[in-house]
Amino acid sequence: MSQVGFIGLGTMGAPMLRNLAGSGAGTIVFDLDAACVRDLAAETGAAPARAASDFAGAEAVVTMLPTSDAVAEALFDWDGGIARHLPAGSVVIDMSSSDPTQTVRLGERLREHGVDLVDAPVSGAVAKATDATLSIMMGADSEAAAERATPIVRTMSAVVFRTGKLGTGHAMKALNNFVAGASTTAACEALIAGERFGLAPETMVQILNASTGQSFVTSNVLGEHVVNGRFASGFGLALYAKDVRIARSLTQAIAHPAPVCEAVSGALDDALDELGNVDHTRAFEYWKDQEA
Ligand code: NAD
């Protein structure tokens, strides 16, 4: 592997970069937050990018940013845009949870520069980003582009699913988070109702985990972040609400009724309006305080 760019060194990007740099790849890094660039460059040996032209030697650039808009901003606006400096034949790998419709448009824009786009969003939160055991969903319009991206994403996990054409990875990720969001809202509603019937929250979590209501949310999120009041899952409410909004727009685009998706998206958006971008597990407190 020659030089690989990495843009977005936040909660997820930082551990993913550590695994990429630990594989021996030469890395060049950028984030709007100069302090995290400085600290991670010092820790991993990555070169901090000071200008968009610093990416001119990159065979690939990974993006791990909050939204599609942020990805486009980094590639086309920051310092005149990184994209115009990338060598023809290089590949951008968007590992953010982006909007698949915008991903397809971004792919067209990058193609004008001779650069391929691959979408490879991840599931698994910080623990799996750290252990390099994320679930990765890879969409690409050509096998050649997917093959160039594969050794890079495999430094972050061996669990790589090839989902289809460009944008299908991002669509799958949004749909996964809709399912997880439905599980979160349902589990929180159950805890709130159960507590009002006199059930102890800790007992409820134990029973859910030994019963058919068990899920990642009940076995991980409820016990480690909700019932004990820690509220530190590392996944922001704004990001969760954005993901389920993307899933809702996918169901609206095919004009298929999706009442559960509508309800989950509405519940997360309401909590976001009230709480701002706190850890998503704090939505439990907001829902708990609601009057019937
Ligand atoms: P984060 O907010 O912790 O980090 C985002 C980083 O991007 C920040 O360091 C920020 O400074 C930087 N940034 C924002 N706009 C930028 C721009 N225009 N140019 C350069 N840098 C910019 O977010 P995160 O939790 O690491 O999530 C990143 C992506 O991964 C999101 O799309 C999210 O939905 C997805 N995701 C998050 C988790 C999780 O558990 N946190 C899990 C899976 C997927």
C-beta separation of 109 from 83 below 8 A: yes
Which amino acid, one-letter code, is at 208? L
Catalytic annotation present for 173: yes
pLDDT surpasses 90 at 266:
yes
Domain limits for position 252: 174-288
Nearest-angstrom CA–CA distance, 133 and 125: 10
Query: Ligand 1 pocket: which of 18, 65, 123 to mutate (most atoms <8 Å of CB)?
Result: 65
Mean pLDDT of the chain: 97
Are residues 95 and 232 located together in one domain of the fold? no
pLDDT surpasses 90 at 2:
no
Q: What percent of the chain has pLDDT over 70?
A: 100
Nearest-angstrom CA–CA distance, 92 and 145: 9
Output the CA angle 234-237-239, nearest 5 degrees: 85
Are residues 186 and 137 located together in one domain of the fold? no
The domain boundary, picked from 104, 137, 166, lies at 166
Tens of pLDDT, residue by residue over 218-231, are 999 999 999 999 99
- Interval between CA 219 and ligand 1 midpoint (Å): 25
pTM of the model: 0.97
Looking at the 3D structure of the chain, how many domains does it have? 2
Are residues 16 and 133 located together in one domain of the fold? yes
CATH for 16: 3.40.50.720
CATH for 193: 1.10.1040.10
Q: Is 70 in the pocket of ligand 1 (CB under 6 A)?
A: yes
Nearest-angstrom CA–CA distance, 247 and 249: 5
Output the CA angle 152-99-176, nearest 5 degrees: 75
Residue 276: closest CA among 230, 231, 234, 241: 241
pLDDT surpasses 60 at 1:
no
ipTM over 0.85: yes
Tens of pLDDT, residue by residue over 8-57, are 999 999 999 999 999 999 999 999 999 999 999 999 999 999 999 999 99
Nearest-angstrom CA–CA distance, 31 and 66: 12
- Interval between CA 234 and ligand 1 midpoint (Å): 11
Are residues 216 and 159 located together in one domain of the fold? no
